[in-house]
Chain A
């Protein structure tokens, strides 16, 4: 489409972004359009209110955490490159990427996807999912009728199963180990972001 290239020109640092995230120009343009749609007041950046305005998001039990993941370190503005970088986590893994030991993992690598998920649980960023944090996640994702007792038992059991070094918390390594059988690419990729 002719409009792609013209819109592409409007995006600052488009080339670098594409390099970094792996998005195609068409996708980048599409995301840029979406960014502009979400940015109703034409501020040039997004705020949490813009995310809140997405009605479907309210149906999501962990929507607030997810919105928080976009606005890391308490910032209130989200510019387009950051927006794209977060979404890049959900690109399907490129299976035929050549293995270059020196270059860093692409954003949508398996371990980076896992890191993203891990950060949603580990809100205080100490590198571990404490029992307390786990309780909160479980509370958000479980139906109201689950009692506190049950919740605590589930949390205890969860930590017990995954915790290898007995520090009553789940570190990133333990997290990754527990998920080694899971097809993360399948679970954490959105096809249309290919």
Chain B
């Protein structure tokens, strides 16, 4: 805790320092300005900091560095606030971080206010819209889960367009009605201005939404709806804002049908135009990365520059800049990731997160700082309270109505709880404030009232709703949580059912698998990838190949790492202890057969490399250590708990796929990777076995007497173990070849454990040294087969069927 006071002290000092410098500037600038009013000549002399009489060794050059220094200082202060916000874990667990940042902003604003008696560091709309917002949206677009996004695009658009229009109109009209009813006292405001206010307040804010939804785990459909809506409603917001702004300046009398029609047309132009600009820039980026192979160091930078340019271009043409940069990110991600070198991709991802996170922090802090300003605050209880009330109520009504309508056409309806969360998660944020602050006060007399109200609404949604979101969700979902009185088998079955359902959905074709998606995929694969992707990248799209490649790489790396750890390849012979462990742990007869691994290990790209064996031994070594722990831990052992912790999560339980703060976007991506690799590995092995006519061996352990055992495969003491395992790996793998499904095979299709499948190394050239541990009923000549060095086929080659293989090997 001593860190906290120290940090706050440092922060305060920084701010005070900046204040003093600012005050210094004001004095010096006022000094120079008064000087310039006097006479030009004295201006010159005073500006050249008085005539010097001797050579100064060091001069104070504040005025040279003032602007960048202050900017950098504020960035630093904001990021230090973020650090502060992270410090107290308990506080962080229930208080949303964005709220904490706003509070920090209050404190800082207070300090500035105390020093200056004026808020010199407000959140200027220009700075916000041009320097703080674009990178957040680019980050959002770049990491958008595209498949999810586009398959839900219809629903998202409905919510974004219709929902926002409804919010804007309803809030505006209701407030106007209340105003006419006298609830707000005397204001210089008309219907159009209310509508303008409604339109700037209606939009759900992408920055705030993510900040809160990160802490609340919701299912992916709900997440993408809210998230997508928050991004796409910018098109509507910009249009509504501009339209009503223009109407306000035109004056109520000039508004006729023609103007309204123009307004509607402008909606389409703005939204589609903005998106098209984004797509155009995405194409430029993708094309560019196709050719930047030689400048890998800098190619990452192109994304940022071009993304920013897309934002500015749309802004220049008065189209929707947020839509532009969103679609730029969304469309370019696939090609850019394929074209660029892996290191560049990582660089881009990290840098994006840094910028986005940094900007978000700054936005929230400045939202707090801006509040401490007596100029803007106009308190009108009726106005403010009614606004909050209407904003929330109409959000609920809008969401529920639209979702009810959508549910009738959806194959999987959205439940009430999710709708509640969606309505409650409609947070307003800095975008609303920015729009409010950029109002023209000559035309809108009550600008300060609007700003104050907007700020209050923003604080309310971010802090209060953010604070209560998690407890609300927990309370609502509490009914669906399983009681722990369920037996273990029921829990296992529940999880298995989730997996089964996910699989059945994939098999039966989920909702998105229809003519459109297929047609688009075909079009994309033939034309677009040819145009936008590097030729090498296109080849690697063959995912099977890339899986093999990745697995092999991984194995190779592990092998070398292990080798280095043990000092030399001699470790292969060294495994006394480990063998014992295996016997004990598995209580099985088979003390494995150690192939002569020290012979040449070639791992060409499609060999199953050596290291799988190492991997088996590694756990056994760690098991040894575990032995001790396990004994101690026996009293703490809880199967239920263990199960809970370690079961693979099913698809619907995966965390949402976008996170601004986590670079590893989907925590369970690791899990999915692991599952995927296991599946691939088992298929790989059954594929290999099918090719070679040999089933993958059971797990190997190192054995002190390798030579003996190698020859001992005729020893039928292995047979009972074998029969239990015979054909199993093959059966388990609906492999690339399906040896399991060969009718001749007589073996019980028992799926082996994954461990058993994890593989012994062999490459076709090494076959003679390997023991085919399986002595199958089918072929009694397995050891003969082992001696035949089979030709090396590439893995992609479709294997012949089983009977033919037997032929070749005989």
Contacts and interface: CB of A to CB of B under 8 A. Distances in A.
B488 A58 contact: no
A63 interface: yes
Nearest to A194: B411
Contact of A87 (B502, B504, B741): B504
A24 interface: no
Contact of A48 (B586, B630, B734): B734
Nearest to A126: B748
Given A138-B492, A162-B487, A74 B749 contact: yes
B342 interface: no
B534 interface: no
Contacts of A38: 507
B517 to A, nearest CB: 11
Interface in A176-194: 178-179, 181-182, 187-193
A137 B498 CA distance: 14
B489 A146 contact: no
Contact of B626 (A65, A147, A162, A189): A147
Interface in B673-717: 674-676, 678-680, 682-683
8 contacts: A37-B518, A51-B734, A60-B503, A75-B743, A117-B493, A120-B500, A123-B731, A142-B643
A140 interface: yes
Given A58-B679, A59-B672, A117-B493, 15 more contacts: A30-B509, A48-B738, A51-B507, A54-B506, A60-B506, A60-B679, A62-B500, A64-B733, A76-B742, A123-B749, A136-B752, A141-B648, A158-B639, A179-B489, A191-B412
Interface stretch (A5-13, A104-112, A148-156): A148-156
B741 A71 contact: yes
A161 interface: yes
A181 to B, nearest CB: 7
Interface in A85-144: 87, 90, 117, 120-121, 123-124, 132-133, 135-144
A38 B506 CA distance: 11
Contacts of A31: 508
Interface string B490-531: 101111111111111111110101000010000000000000
Contact of B504 (A137, A178, A190): A190
B215 to A, nearest CB: 25
Given A76-B743, A146-B642, A191-B412, A62 B672 contact: no
Nearest to A66: B503
A133 B412 contact: no
Interface string B708-751: 00000000000000001000000111111010111101001111
Contacts of A191: 411-413
B503 A137 contact: no
B496 A141 contact: yes
Given A137-B492, A141-B492, A74 B637 contact: no
A158 B626 contact: no
A49 B736 contact: yes
Contacts of B413: 191
A193 B648 contact: no
A190 B499 contact: no
Contact of A146 (B487, B509, B585, B646): B646
A55 interface: yes
B646 A61 contact: no
Contacts of A123: 731, 748-751
A154 B741 contact: no
A65 B503 CA distance: 11
B60 interface: no
Contacts of B492: 137-138, 141, 158
B341 interface: no
Contacts of A61: 499, 648, 675, 678-679
A110 to B, nearest CB: 13
A141 B679 contact: no
A157 B643 CA distance: 11
A175 interface: yes
Interface of A: 30-31, 34, 37-38, 47-49, 51-52, 54-68, 71, 74-76, 87, 90, 117, 120-121, 123-124, 132-133, 135-150, 153-154, 157-158, 161-162, 170, 175, 178-179, 181-182, 187-193
B495 A141 contact: yes
B493 to A, nearest CB: 6
A87 B503 CA distance: 11
Nearest to A145: B646
Given A59-B676, A147-B623, A37 B750 contact: no
Interface string B744-770: 010011111111000000000000000
A62 B626 contact: no
A181 B675 contact: no
Contact of A141 (B411, B630, B647): B647
A120 B751 CA distance: 10
Contacts of A182: 486, 490, 493-494
A156 to B, nearest CB: 8
Nearest to B752: A136
Given A142-B648, A147-B626, A161-B488, A179 B735 contact: no
B421 to A, nearest CB: 20
B671 A143 contact: yes
Interface in B632-687: 637, 639, 642-643, 646-648, 651, 671-672, 674-676, 678-680, 682-683
Contacts of B637: 153
Given A68-B731, A170-B489, A188 B507 contact: no
Given A59-B675, A139-B755, A154-B643, A192 B412 contact: yes
Contacts of A55: 543
Contacts of A189: 501
Nearest to B744: A74
B301 interface: no
B8 to A, nearest CB: 41
5 pairs of A and B residues whose beta carbons are closest in the complex: A192-B411, A139-B753, A157-B639, A67-B734, A48-B734
A171 to B, nearest CB: 12
Contacts of B490: 178-179, 181-182
Nearest to A184: B497
B619 interface: yes
Contacts of B513: 34, 37
Contacts of A144: 674, 678, 754
A65 to B, nearest CB: 6
Contacts of B499: 60-62, 66, 141
B412 A65 contact: no
Contacts of B411: 191-192
B650 to A, nearest CB: 8
Given A68-B749, A87-B508, A179-B490, A149 B585 contact: yes
A142 to B, nearest CB: 5
Contact of B494 (A34, A56, A142, A187): A187
Contacts of A52: 683, 734-736
A51 B506 CA distance: 10
A136 B750 contact: yes
Given A55-B543, A57-B507, A149 B648 contact: no
Contacts of B500: 62, 66, 117, 120, 188
B501 A74 contact: no
Contacts of A34: 508-509, 513
B676 A175 contact: no
Given A71-B741, A192-B412, A65 B751 contact: yes
Given A58-B679, A120-B500, A142 B672 contact: no
Nearest to A175: B489
A67 B508 CA distance: 13
